[in-house]
A = this chain, B = another copy of it.
Amino acid sequence: MTSVPLLDRLRALDWRLTPQRRVIAEVMGGDHVHLTAEEVLERARQRLPEVSLATVYNTLNELVSMGEVQPVDAGGGPTRYDPNTKDGHHHLVCLVCGDLRDVHPEGLEALELPRSEHFGFRVVNREVLFQGYCSNCGRP
């Protein structure tokens, strides 16, 4: 899926590559990653202790602007950041603990917004959010 690694794509965008940015990008590499800013900080600091939360937010926001990372707000908690922007990726979230998974629902092609409901919008994206209870959080 991810043909060119994130770091290589960033290098190609003549993006000033600092140690902090490198470790943040490394942490954000890979699939099925849905970290919060705090979690990114924690993991980045394991590799490079001198990283600040402000830099994590700055960097994540830039990656979002570049289209390399997608922010996912699913019910209340802090924003999670998803580096998997290439495939049509949707999400399954636990209503209790916020656990988040990438899913690839079937039948998306058939999902259309009737023209009468465009309200003059230019529609550019569809996101499907499945909600439920994960195996830890049981069945309230």
Contacts and interface: CB of A to CB of B under 8 A. Distances in A.
A134 B118 CA distance: 9
A121 interface: yes
Interface stretch (A12-20, A36-44, A105-113): A105-113
Given A73-B75, A76-B73, A128-B128, A139 B117 contact: no
B120 A125 contact: no
A66 to B, nearest CB: 15
A118 B106 CA distance: 13
A130 B101 contact: no
How many copies of the polypeptide does the oligomer hold?
2
A92 B119 contact: yes
A9 interface: no
A125 B91 CA distance: 12
Interface in A61-79: 71, 73-76
